[in-house]
Amino acid sequence: MNTHHVPGSDLAVAARTVRTWLDEADRVLVTAGSGLSAAAGYDYGNQERLKELFPALHRMGLRSRYIVGVHLPPALWWGYWAVHIDDIRYTPGPNPLYQRLRALVSDKEHWVMTSNVDTLFARNGFDPQRIFTPQGDYGRYQCTSPCLRTTWDSHPLVERLLAAYDPATGAITDPAALPRCPNCGEDVEINVRIGPQFVDEPYLPAGNRLQEWLNSADNGTRLLILEFGAGFNTPGVIRTPGEHLTRHLPGARLVRVNPSHSQIPADLRDQALPVPFSTDRVLDALDGCGPNAVGAPSAR
């Protein structure tokens, strides 16, 4: 596919364009992939953090938190998930990068669509009713069958697992702590999209509301899509839909912030801006661009 990329783009120039487009927009759709959470301090590829949290698994050769396809016995599998989810999903306190993003769009009508399953948007002030997470949520788990098209709160499960977790071995020491389906008693898994068994019913209402919001725009509505950290792991979730919307909605524009994969299709070169810099650098550059400059969010 032909793409358009601006080699050596000037950050200050790009920031001024983003600020102009944002000021001109009537609505903003924030879209995000794993690169945004990595920039915010949750990098699944960070080997030092992995070694710190999972010393036993690191000794066994694990080098990334992307463990889909890794075969571990249940005691190690659930030891990993308990520590991982506790770190990613239930870490208390605000995240500065996400709060700066909230400040950036706070005076615009906006929605969020993200492939991330860490709820960092909702945990940092974005309206939970205006966030679509089609890939799931670490805060829920489901039957692997599934016997029911429903999910359950993972927090009590994680707490029970951590109480029986041995950091030295990376394993759950009490077999009774290993989770089972509350309905049928069979195996369970975290409610994230890794196969056709994924229970997506909890997320469909938000997806429908987002579609209604997009459909409600008239031909004069100016939509700005701000895309952060969406690469090619699952391009059909964030990148491709953003490009589709830009092509088919009158007045839509796309800003693609990604230090490694900021390329845009050639046919969108007049409606899209590739910004080959990290999110924090872009926000820093926006600080000095106009009266609505990004600053620290006000206390809630």
> Which residues are part of a known binding site for Zn(2+)?
143, 147, 181, 184
Which residues carry a binding-site annotation? 143, 147, 181, 184
Cα–Cα distance list, 60 to 70, 105, 166, 175 (Å)? 12, 44, 15, 22
Spacing of C-alpha 180 from chain mean position:
27
For the chain, how long is the longest CA-to-CA vector?
61
One-letter amino acid identity for 158?
A: V
Distance CA 236, CA 17 (A): 27
Q: Where are the beta strands (DSSP E) in 91-202?
A: 109-114, 131-132, 136-143, 152-153, 165-166, 171-172, 188-192
Tokens standing for residue 122:
């909702």
Distance CA 80, CA 172 (A): 9
Total residues belonging to the chain: 300
Answer whether 30's CB lies under 8 Å from 228's CB: yes
How is residue 69 annotated by DSSP?
T
- With tokens 């929605």, the residue in question is 111
Q: Collapse the DSSP code of 178 into the 3-class scheme (helix H, G, I; strand E, B; otherwise coil) and give the result.
A: coil
Answer whether 230's CB lies under 8 Å from 116's CB: no
